[in-house]
Amino acid sequence: MTQRDIILNELAQGLRPMSQGVEWFDTLGPAERAEALLFLSHHCTQARAVTEDGPESIRRSGLRPTHTPAVLITRSPIDQQLWKIAGLTSVDEQRKAFRLLVAVLAVADERRRARFCSAGCGHWWHNLPVDGTP
C-alpha cells in the first residue's frame, strides 16, 4: 500500500474531496500523472468495472458526455477503454481522465463491496480510517 493508493481509494470512497484529489494530481510531474492514471485504471479493473458504469461515472465526475474520457468509457470492451483513458497525454485530458477514473472506481467498488464485502472483509482499502489518518 502506497500513499498514492491510499489517496486514490479515499477519493473513490468520498473520504477525501475531489478538489483535494485534483490539487494533489496537479502537483505530480508528467511521469507521476501517467503512473497514477495507470494505477487508477488497474484499480477499476480489479473492482470489476463494467461498461454500464460509464453513465453514472460521467455524472459523478462532472464531465460533459462529449469530453474524450467520457466518450471512451461508454464503449466496450471496458478494459481497453480504461487503458486508453489512462494513456491520454495532454494535461487537461489527464485531469479529466483522473476525475472520471476516480468516479469509475467509486461506482465499481461500491457494487463490489455490496456484493462481496457487506459482511466485512480484509481489504485494506475498505478499512480506511474516516478521519483521513493512516
Kindly give, in sequence order, each residue whose CB lies less than 8 Å from that of residue 35, ignoring residues fewer than 6 positions away: none
- How far apart CA 74 and CA 54 sit, in angstroms, is 5
pLDDT tens, residue by residue, 40-63? 999 999 999 999 999 999 999 999
Phi-psi region of 28 (alpha: psi -120 to 50; beta: other; left: phi over 0): beta
Global pTM reads 0.87
Contact (Cβ atoms closer than 8 angstroms) between residue 44 and residue 104: yes
The C-alpha cell that represents 39 in the structure block: 494505477
- How far apart CA 117 and CA 13 sit, in angstroms, is 14
Residue 126: closest CA among 48, 117, 101: 117
Instruction: Give residue 112's pLDDT.
Output: 85
- How far apart CA 12 and CA 102 sit, in angstroms, is 5
- How far apart CA 80 and CA 1 sit, in angstroms, is 25
pLDDT tens, residue by residue, 82-131? 999 999 999 999 999 999 999 999 999 998 877 766 666 655 455 566 65
- How far apart CA 77 and CA 62 sit, in angstroms, is 23
